[in-house]
Structure 1
Amino acid sequence: MNRRTFLKRVAGSLLALIGLSGGTYYYARELEPAMLDIKHEQLSSVKIPNVFNDFKVVQFSDTHIGYHYSIEQLSDLIDTINEQNPDLILFTGDLVDKPHTYNWDHNLVQILGKLKADYGKYWIYGNHDHGGYGTDIVRNVMSQSGFSLLQNEHVEIEMNNGQIILAGIDDVMLGRPDLEKTLANADPNLYTLLLAHEPDYADNTVHFPVDVQLSGHSHGGQVRLPFIGHLYTPLYAQNYVQGKHTFQNSNLTLYVNRGVGTTRLPYRFLCKPEIHIFTLKAETE
């Protein structure tokens, strides 16, 4: 860490301590974490078949259930997602915060099972899913809930003889991601969505025929201060923290979801939780 970065972090931390006092503390602890933002984005490409025009994809990420995010809150989230009438539902990792201490019960399966999408529900591992001996437990829960795991593999989503590709890699931090294996035998001419928990993996994705990478992991920084921005993001979420990113000499677009829950600290400040709603649009050449 260089001197400038260090001073920035110190100043930011001091401002955070001051700012998170009194009413601001209450807002960051009790109010903003419940202010779900529904972010709408349009994905346009000549590679999207006409039959997929207005196809709706909902992404949610980083619920971190058990760390100041309850089953009741998850149930409300599922209702909100279903209200969007999605064609496809994607979860980009970190279901519970600490799998080894979480009190697993069938209620979680029942609630996640209520999510409905005609073209399926898919998910990938996040670092918290692999951590704490959670790999098998989380996989079983998601499977029982009707979700299909994408772990270094891809599927074709087909509608009336039109296809797009949905791919997913294993977690970067605690798994064994292999994008070459993931896209093996995939048609590079088909519109391709990649699920990758850690957003900084996009620096590798640019070398592959991927149109859009959807990520989470960063929580958008959780606490952001005016003129300073985020104070901290985890490893592999330091180059791309939130929002939309494009890359020179590449057709790749990266979207970083701020996630739903919190971790490490139970605060959100100027960084509301969010879900993404992507609407596909077929373009003519």
Structure 2
Amino acid sequence: MNRRSFIKRSLWSILTVIGAGSGGYYYARNIEPSLLQIKKETIASSKIPSSFDGFKIIQFSDTHIGFHYTIEQLKDLVHQINMQDPDMVVFTGDLIDAPNQYHQYADVHSALLKINANYGKYWIYGNHDHGGYGTEIIKELMQQSQFTLLQNNHAIIEKNVDRIIIAGIDDVILGNPDLNKTLYQTNSDLFTILLAHEPDFAETTRLYPVNIQLSGHSHGGQVRFPFLGHLYTPAYAEKYVQGKYTFDNENEFTLYVNSGIGTTRLPYRFLCNPEFHVYTLKHTV
């Protein structure tokens, strides 16, 4: 642990103790984790084909079902997603907090199956999906829920005569990510979106012909304070924590970091609402 991480963890512990006897604790524990926000972004590029102008992609991430995130909350999330009428839905990892200790898989399947997207539903592994002996459990659950796994591979999305690429890598922490394999035999002229659970993988992605990386994992810090910002984020979410980051390279590479839906380690959110993203593609000349 470096000095900055130690200081932030210490501050988090102190502030948690202070807040335990105040209304702040009640808010962070019982109110904000339920205040779901819908973040809308327009992704504009000359590489986006005209057929995909207005194409809507929804990203949700880090539900951590079972750790203070219930089936009823998941059902409401699915309803909110469907209300946005997405063309495609992507999930960027950490579905269930402890897969080998969870028992309501039928209910999760029933909820996820109801997500509608005419151009497909895609997902990638997060560290919690591989952890807790969850690799095969989550894989089967998502397959039954009609989600397509992107694990060091890609898919071609076709609309009329135009195409874009949706790709995904294995989890950085507990998997075996291989971006060369993921992008093998892809056309670098096609607009390419990469799903990568850990946002700091962008330091590698920026060197490849990828236009957009969608990530989660950080929870946006989960607990944030004015002036201090986030107090702690997990490994591989230390440099890029929340929101949009642009990189100066030939691909006009952009990273979006989703703050996630659920909580982990501690069941609090403070100044860091749960969210899902709605991205609308825009063709530019």
Structure-2 change in CA distance of 1:56 and 1:97 (3 Å): same
Structure 1 consecutive aligned stretches of length 4 or more whose deviation exceeds 3 Å? 1-13
Map 1:162-201; keep pairs closer than 5 Å: 162-201=162-201
Aligned position for 1:89: 89
Deviation per CA, 1:132-188, whole angstroms, max 9, x where unpaired? 110001000000001000000011100001000000000000000000100000000
Map 1:12-161; keep pairs closer than 5 Å: 12-161=12-161
Hey, what's the Cα distance between the residues in 1 that align with 2:257 and 2:159? Answer: 27
1:258 aligns with 2:259: yes
Contact 1:99 1:134 in 2 (8 A): yes
Hey, what's the Cα distance between the residues in 2 that align with 1:4 and 1:220? Answer: 17
Deviation at 1:34, TM superposition (A): 0.3
Deviation per CA, 1:179-218, whole angstroms, max 9, x where unpaired? 0100000000000000000000000001100000000000
Q: CA RMSD in A?
A: 1.3
Hey, what's the Cα distance between the residues in 1 that align with 2:155 and 2:191? Answer: 12
Structure-2 change in CA distance of 1:243 and 1:20 (3 Å): farther
Aligned position for 1:274: 275
Aligned with 2:217: secondary structure?
coil
Contact 1:58 1:277 in 2 (8 A): yes
Aligned with 2:89: secondary structure?
strand
Deviation at 1:110, TM superposition (A): 1.1
- Between 96-105 and 58-67, report the one with greater CA deviation: 96-105
What letter matches 2:60 in structure 1? Answer: F
Contact 2:130 2:174 in 1 (8 A): yes
Question: Is there any run of 5+ residues in structure 1 with no aligned partner, and where?
Answer: none
What letter matches 1:30 in structure 2? Answer: N
Hey, what's the Cα distance between the residues in 2 that align with 1:201 and 1:207? Answer: 11
Contact 1:58 1:276 in 2 (8 A): yes
Contact 1:150 1:169 in 2 (8 A): yes
Structure-2 change in CA distance of 1:12 and 1:265 (3 Å): closer
Matched residues, number: 284
TM-score by length of 1: 0.96
Contact 1:166 1:193 in 2 (8 A): yes
Structure-2 change in CA distance of 1:20 and 1:191 (3 Å): farther
Hey, what's the Cα distance between the residues in 1 that align with 2:200 and 2:53? Answer: 29
Question: Is there any run of 5+ residues in structure 2 with no aligned partner, and where?
Answer: none
Percentage of pairs with the same residue: 61
- Between 95-104 and 188-197, report the one with greater CA deviation: 95-104
Deviation at 1:20, TM superposition (A): 4.7
Deviation at 1:7, TM superposition (A): 4.3
Hey, what's the Cα distance between the residues in 2 that align with 1:3 and 1:108? Answer: 40
